[in-house]
Structure 1
């Protein structure tokens, strides 16, 4: 089940099979995405403009436009790339996050990794949630995470409503809530993980 999801685009259906890009195109894409990530992390998503990315990456603004079209597409590509990296880690990476550990350990590692990811990529994920407060639950990125958690819950509690339980376990990892708790209430990432462990203990011991 895990592996079947990897071959799908997070932003819409199965991946096409494009021709291999030129080395300079790959290099420019990497520079543009790295620059975009730095801008979002340092200045916030509102500072992400095509001109700003061109200056920060050292790539001509015309190339930035040709490669990504507009800021919305650049932002989507940045989200997509980060999500692909995360998917690879929990679907095919080393245990306990990846295959090879018992389902309870994998689920705990996954929820902890979600906390770390939100803390590290807060501005990017907040912007994604704000752009589509309800609709992002239907995006492929969220559906992949939900499918993964549902699978683990089903292994742990065959009689439970695994899909609903997965939604409820994922809810505390929303970027808005984690931001509120860490920046607004002074809670540490470890405290959030401890709280998630308390919730998870109910699933594991039920």
Structure 2
């Protein structure tokens, strides 16, 4: 069975004080984004708000875009932990169809909730932040567990993963996926994902 590797997490050999600073900085960034949006987050403002030296912030993140990439990496790590070790249907224990539906819904929610952060993490050339995703490997594993087996599972996994990743989600605006009043774009996208997976598994 394929087991995706969680690529993020605490660096090996990280000192206890460095780990505390990292967690403190990430919590501070998230609070600043929640209060005023990513536009107000700068290296100087983060250092002041966190009560740390500017040099500490520069060593940790390198650039302003690096701050947001670290936030995304942390969110990705937490999501992967839920997929690998959390309760079903997102975590182990459910049948592959329900796990795939839950995975897509969770991934859509993750990307949409971090939409502004993804944009802020772009470098000056407009290149989106690079983040290692478990989607291709995880989806491939679930498709291979289908009974009866699905044809061309490797190719299907690549196509399904592409529907859940940043570039497509990044450029979707709320208006493009808007539904009736009170219905969130996230909910409509998740419903569409469920329809896609159910039809795929039902032949």
Q: Distance in 2 between matches of 1:61 and 1:155?
A: 50
**2:136 equivalent to 1:146:** yes
Give the alignment's Cα RMSD to 1 decimal.
2.9
**Alignment-derived partner of residue 132 in structure 1:** 127
**Alignment-derived partner of residue 70 in structure 1:** 63
Gapped runs of 5+ residues in structure 1?
A: none
Normalising to structure 1: TM-score of the pair? 0.77
Give the Å deviation of 1:40: 4.0
Distance 1:159 1:101, change over 3 A: closer
Q: Distance in 1 between matches of 2:43 and 2:108?
A: 30
Count matched residues.
Answer: 194
User: Is the 1:150–1:166 Cα contact (8 Å) retained in structure 2?
Assistant: yes
Gapped runs of 5+ residues in structure 2?
A: none
**2:178 equivalent to 1:186:** yes
Q: What SS does the corresponding residue of 1:173 show, helix, strand or coil?
A: coil
Q: Which of 192, 198, 203 lines up with 1:201 in the alignment?
A: 198
Q: Distance in 2 between matches of 1:17 and 1:111?
A: 30
**Alignment-derived partner of residue 99 in structure 2:** 106
User: Is the 2:28–2:50 Cα contact (8 Å) retained in structure 1?
Assistant: yes
Q: Distance in 1 between matches of 2:137 and 2:117?
A: 23
Matches within 5 A, 1:23-62: 24-62=17-55
Q: What SS does the corresponding residue of 1:54 show, helix, strand or coil?
A: helix
Distance 1:33 1:73, change over 3 A: same
**Alignment-derived partner of residue 168 in structure 1:** 159
User: Is the 2:28–2:46 Cα contact (8 Å) retained in structure 1?
Assistant: yes
User: Is the 2:136–2:157 Cα contact (8 Å) retained in structure 1?
Assistant: yes
1:38-85 deviation line (CA, Å, top 9, x unaligned):
344555545432112112322222221233333343333222211111
User: Is the 1:37–1:78 Cα contact (8 Å) retained in structure 2?
Assistant: yes
**2:79 equivalent to 1:86:** yes
